[in-house]
Every structure is written in structure tokens, then in C-alpha cells.
Chain A
Amino acid sequence: MLMIELIDVRKAFNQGKHNEFWALDGINLGIEAHRVTALCGPSGSGKTTLLTLIGCLARPTSGRARFKGEDISGLPERFLTQLRRRSFGFVFQQFNLIRGLSAEENVMLPAAPSGLPQQVVRARAAMLLDRLRLAHRRTARVEWLSGGEQQRVAIARALINDPEVLIADEPTANLDTTLAREFLAILESFAGEGRTVILSSHDPLVIQSAAVHRVIDMRDGRIVAA
């Protein structure tokens, strides 16, 4: 089953101005469910932009995007955000945790607009942190955590709304080999429990890993090999 479909998608920045830039130039792509898919390519190839479009963070300038068969390219921001909140979880390259809040509070943040009772969300956060072996750091401020711990908090945050799709941008860029392997193992378990994982990387460790089912090469805003 195709989870995500992109049909002749193009994305431009600063359209109409002198520094107009086409980050994506005709992408045709189908991403299967329950698999780990990796986007690979040099910086500037459009990997991050493609991730934002897949993950409903932005709308394509032209072309169509479908999620589980439904057209999402024409949706207004509000609908897109609701969809994103429900179905997508993001792990950013820089983790992007909010300083000054504890690990638990950071993990609970994406669930705030959904109106679930606080106790339910808190319990879920505790369970996620426990599963990622961070239960002992639940109330610690995130700026005191190590890099690996911060990444695991970021992963827990991405999962708080129980999304079907997990998106990770250059996840191993700030990790050493051991932590990178650990991360890949976690991804594998996610795919095993029925989630779809999409990540971007130019780390050979990731691209050549057994956990990754499919690698998509990109260059200059186009897909070179799938």
C-alpha cells in the first residue's frame, strides 16, 4: 500500500523575486507503508525540502501530494496541521527541544492542542521515556542531557501522538557510531510495529544499514535513483 504519493511535485522559494530558487524540480515518488525509507544525497539536493512536503509542513508550489490516497496539496494550513499532528512525528537534526522545560514537558508538548486530559498525556510520555530508557531523566531539564539522551527525548516527543509516520532529518549527524547503531535499532523496531519511517541522511552507516529497506538518491532537486 502506498502511504505517501508525490506526483510531479515542485517547490520554489522566493517565487517571483530575483533570488527565485527551485528546491524540488519534478519529484515523482511513492513511499510504502511499514517500511524504512532513506533519502540520500549531498547538501542542497532537496532532501530536507522533500521531507517537509511529505510531512505536511509545507505545501508544494505545483504538483500533487497524497497521503493514504487523500489529496493533501490543496489543504489549508489548519487542516494540514491537524493532520500533521495526528499522523506525523518529527525528529529534527538539531533536536529542537525547548530549553528550560523538562524532558517530560517537552515530550508532552505536541499533545497540548489536542485537548486530551493531562494525566493521560503524562502517562503516555512516561511510558515512551521508559521504553527509550530515559525514565530516570524524566524531570531533568533538557539542556542538562547528553546528546544521545536529547535525541531520545526528541524521538519520544515525535511519538506522543502515536503517529503512523515518523520523519527524521539527518538523525545520526550528531551521534557517534554506538549511538547511531542504537538509533537504527530503534527505527527497525518502529517499522516492526507498523509505523512508516522516512529519513534523510548522507551517513553511509545509515544508508548501508539492514534496517533501511529502500534508499532514494537525490541530486539538484530531482530523484536520481530509487
Chain B
Amino acid sequence: MIFQPTIIALLLAAGLGLAMLLAAAPFAVTVIRHWNIRSGSERQLQLERRTYLFSTLLTFVLAIQGVALLLFIFNADRMAALFVGAMCAVGTLNINPYGFPALFAQIAVFFLATVWLVINHVDTRAPDYPLVRIKYGLLLALVPVLAANFLLQLLYFLGLKADVITSCCGSLFSAGDQTLSANLAALPPEPALVAFYAALAAAVLMAGLHALTRRGGYLVALAAAAAFVAAIAGIISFVSLYIYEHPHHHCPFCILKPEYGYQGYWLYIPLFAATAAGLAVGALQCFRRVPSLAAVVPATTARLAAIAATGYLMFTAVATIMMLRSNLILLG
């Protein structure tokens, strides 16, 4: 394994997160079984007191996991210099079969963590802890996800050997093969462009509508998920071509490199933030009917929807500017 500070930091963060979650698990079980807001008993008072602790701890841990995603990708890109055949993060992630699964796990953790943080925040806005059982139930559901994340990262990092020759993004995204990535790369540009803009427009529209009218929350989440998929597909299929000014370079990771001015971050950060916000809107819709949250939920979802709309708008704007500025001519 490569004994590098950033890798140690990532493993520590994942391990710490998992440890804290496991420590909170018995408490979560107790809350789900014995929580009774009306009772003044010692046990209830103790539970109330301890929710402050676990709430704070878990917010801290999950916020770190959100940042960890960024760190993971940045690090994968940086480490490419250590491996034969690797030019970008793709090469680093391909060293052993755990690389890409670890990345996907981290992305899953990111989205689940942000949704949980939003639910936790809404719960704290009402004085009678209306969502406390659901919150801790979701936490228990998060344990296996974080465990998988930690395990995959551990296996990946332990299996990083500098003497393995890895492949470059050129082979992963070349148009000939039958893999998903290759198929995305092989999509003809015109229909891909249409689908891309259509999905993003739908997301912006739905989110904007919700921000104004507070209706259609579930649709916002669906549109967000669709937009996320369309955006990534779009990046692989044609946006990256414009950035590299090369008709066959489809890699979605190389745009994060310093050679391209770190442009990739301008695309990905708004996209991930917007998608997280959109998904959170959908999640909160389930709690619309809780009496003490009657005012809180619509206000929060409206704000989240505004964030989502802004994020998708930014993403579309940035992508379009990149395409217009590029010297590559792909269509007509």
C-alpha cells in the first residue's frame, strides 16, 4: 500500500465515521423503542439530552464524508503520477477492481449523508422532535452503507501497488467496446445534446416551480436524479470533447486536471450540490403532513429547490460556455 498522508486521512475519516455510527447504533435502537415525548420520566429526559450529543456527532461525521468525496477524487487524480500508464484518476482507480466501486460507494454516501443532514436539520426546527424515530432508523440503515464504503476504500488502498500497469482513460472510454462507459462515449452527439438540455431544463423548471409554489416535491427529486444521469452522460458523451478540443477524448476525470484549469470542478460541484438538494426535497416531502412541521417543511424545501435550480442553471451555463468557447466543431 502506498503510505501517503491523504490516503491515511481518507481511511481515518471513513473509519471514524463508521465507528461513530456504530457507537450511535445502540442509542438509535433505544430511541426507536422507548422514545416518548410526553413522558417526563428519567429515561426520556436522558434520551433527550443524549440526542444532542449524537445529533452533533453524526452531523460532524457525515459532513466530513461529504468533503471526503472531493478529497478522494482529487487524490486519485494526483496519484496518477505514481502509476505506469495512468494519466488521470481513471488510471488510478483501475489499479485494482475495488477502485471504481469505492468511488461509487463514496458518491452514494455523499448523497445519503446530505439527505440525512437535511432531515436532521428539519427535525431540530420543531420543538417536539417529530422525526426522531425516522432519523435514527435511517441512521441504522446508513451503517451498512458506511461499512461498505470503508471496506471498499480499505481494500482499494491496500491493493494499490506501484508496479501494476494500469490502463488509461483512452481505453475505458473508447467508442468500440461494449461497456457502459464506451456506450456513453459512442452516443451520437445530436441526440445526446437534446437529451442533455431537455433533462436539465426539466430539472430547473421543476425546481423553480417548487421554489415558488411549493408543489410537486417528488417530481423535483425525480427530475434531479434524471438530470444527474443526463449530465454525467452528457459530460462523457460530448462536453468533455469540447474541453479537450479532441474528438475522441471522452474522459470525465481529465477535465479535473490542472492542465485544463481545473474546469471539471466548475461542472461537478454545482451538479452534485444541485442533485443533493433536489433529492432532499423529495425526501422531505414524506414529512409534509407532520403537524409541527407544517410550516418548516415547505419553507425548507422551497429553499432547497432554489439551490437545486441555481445549481443546475450554473452547470448548464458553464457547460454551454465551455462548448461555445472551444475551438472544436462537432456539429455542422
Instruction: Using CB atoms and an 8 Å cutoff, list the residues of chain A in contact with chain B.
Output: 15-16, 59-62, 73-79, 82
Contact = CB atoms under 8 A, between A and B. Distances in A.
A24 to B, nearest CB: 14
Interface string B15-51: 0000000000000000000000111101001001100
A78 B40 contact: no
B129 A76 contact: yes
Interface string B100-140: 00000000000000000000000000011100000000000
Contacts of B129: 76, 78
B48 A74 contact: no
Contact of B39 (A15, A74, A78, A79): A74
Nearest to B124: A78
A85 B39 CA distance: 22
A15 B127 contact: no
A74 B127 contact: no
A16, A73, A78 pick with most chain B CB within 10 angstroms: A78
Contacts of B40: 59-62, 73-74
Interface residues of B, number: 11
21 contacts: A15-B42, A16-B42, A59-B45, A61-B40, A73-B40, A74-B38, A74-B39, A74-B40, A75-B127, A75-B128, A76-B37, A76-B48, A76-B127, A76-B128, A76-B129, A77-B49, A78-B127, A78-B129, A79-B127, A79-B128, A82-B127
Interface of B: 37-40, 42, 45, 48-49, 127-129
Given A59-B45, A77-B45, A78-B127, 15 more contacts: A59-B40, A60-B40, A62-B40, A73-B40, A74-B37, A74-B38, A75-B127, A76-B37, A76-B48, A76-B127, A77-B48, A77-B49, A78-B129, A79-B127, A82-B127
A6 to B, nearest CB: 14
Nearest to B40: A59
> Is chain A's binding surface mostly helix, strand, loop or mixed?
loop
Contacts of A16: 42
B128 to A, nearest CB: 6
Nearest to B292: A79
Closest 8 CB pairs of A and B: A79-B127, A74-B38, A59-B40, A78-B127, A76-B37, A77-B48, A76-B48, A76-B128
Contacts of A62: 40
B42, B45, B49, B127 pick with most chain A CB within 10 angstroms: B127
A78 B123 CA distance: 12
> Is chain B's binding surface mostly helix, strand, loop or mixed?
loop
A74 B37 CA distance: 7
Nearest to A73: B40
Contacts of A74: 37-40
Contacts of A59: 40, 45
Contacts of B37: 74, 76
Contacts of B45: 59, 77
Contacts of B49: 77
Contacts of A73: 40
B132 to A, nearest CB: 10
B117 to A, nearest CB: 19
B38 to A, nearest CB: 4
Nearest to A62: B40
A16, A76, A77, A78 pick with most chain B CB within 10 angstroms: A76
Nearest to B49: A77
A16 B46 CA distance: 15
A59 B40 CA distance: 7
A107 to B, nearest CB: 26
B38, B40, B42 pick with most chain A CB within 10 angstroms: B40
B177 to A, nearest CB: 57
A81 to B, nearest CB: 9
B174 to A, nearest CB: 57
A16 B129 CA distance: 28
A82 B127 CA distance: 9
A74 to B, nearest CB: 4
A121 B11 CA distance: 47
Contacts of B38: 74
A77 B45 CA distance: 8
